[in-house]
Structure 1
């Protein structure tokens, strides 16, 4: 088997149309990342996440010939993952509402650092309240926060994944953070000095 460790994702994607092992290398690089992403935006069981992941890789392979090399492969496959996950839940007529508890702490820590509120809050109690508040955010705000703070994507990558302008990404993140901050303040979750 060929060693693909030095290859970029984009070069592997181009080679994958004729080299099945190259596609296997891409699957190896993205399997755990995409599994975590699907788990973070859904309330799906392990088995259901595995099914969604399988569909993601099937669609990725099926549409490799359409890969737009002006995008990063990462943005392209996350776009497929996002669409496939949402499509799966539309079929069930349920919009995913939950961010997994094991991810909640990381999510909260990243938002706290960006909002500079870490020193002012009791993280454990806030985590439960934040989950309730996040569940009230609309999907367009929740999606950008998830991609920014859990998946650690930059604005351009989020733009590519959600197919919205970069400025819209920034606007949505700012509005979502303001909504979070306002809800947190209204619920008295800040500890005032």
Structure 2
């Protein structure tokens, strides 16, 4: 099958094809690698993005027979794999946020935190935002970043993390409240 004809296929047809012919899995890679890579690189760093995105597709290829389209689409399935692979980086990520919060140094410009700080607010917001993000638990951080960084819908986030749609909404609400409360405390102190 040509690359052009694969581009016009919906995910259900892609799944049916790659189950019959493993060579067809390349269409899944071609369609979603960049999105998964950008999500992981945005959460971690460029090198980790490359490594985890590649590992995501290796695992997806290995487990392609177990993919269950009734639990969601290919895209959320891939993002769920990537999110699970990032779990081993969680402690490092949390320590990084806490370290940023303890210093007044700006985060590196090419990091996710650097881009968020540059985009969201003025220069002095960096340590405040880092402290606010450090208040989130793993589940809240996952939902927040999948929603805003990867731009997944609530249902896609639910599928990716293997949680209910309602849990996505409640975690997102809690994350927003915690960030707002943390920022408000800092405003009242300042």
Tell me whether the two structures share a fold, i.e. TM-score over 0.5.
yes
- Structure 1 residue runs of 5 or longer lacking an equivalent are 110-121
Identify, as 1 or 2, the structure richer in helix. 2
TM-score by length of 2: 0.77
Deviation at 1:105, TM superposition (A): 5.1
Preserved CA contact (<8 Å) 2:38 2:49? no
1:17 is paired with a residue of what secondary structure? helix
Match of 2:137 in 1: 138
Q: Counterpart of 2:73? A: 72
Q: TM-score, normalised by structure 1?
A: 0.76
What is the distance in 1 between the residues matched to 2:89 and 2:12? Answer: 29
Aligned to 1:85: 86
Report the alpha carbon displacement of residue 57 of structure 1 after superposing the two structures with TM.
0.7
**Is contact 2:83–2:142 with CA below 8 Å preserved after alignment?**
no
Distance 1:59 1:133 in 2: 33
User: 1:102, CA displacement in angstroms?
Assistant: 5.0
Q: 1:61 to 1:103 in 2, by over 3 A?
A: farther
Pairs aligned (count)? 170
**CA separation of 1:27 and 1:188: change in aligned 2, threshold 3 A:** same
1:96 counterpart residue number: 93
Q: What does residue range 1-193 of structure 1 map to in structure 2 within 5 Å? A: 2=2, 3=4, 4-42=6-44, 44=45, 46-70=46-70, 71-86=72-87, 88-89=88-89, 94-97=91-94, 100-101=112-113, 103-104=115-116, 109=120, 122-188=121-187
SS in 2 for 1:152: coil
Q: State the partner residue of 2:101.
A: none
Q: Partners in 1 of 2:81 and 2:13 — Cα distance? A: 18
CA distance in 1, matches of 2:116, 2:23: 36
Structure 2 spans left out of the alignment, 5+ residues: 98-110
1:16/1:102 CA distance change after superposition, 3 Å: farther
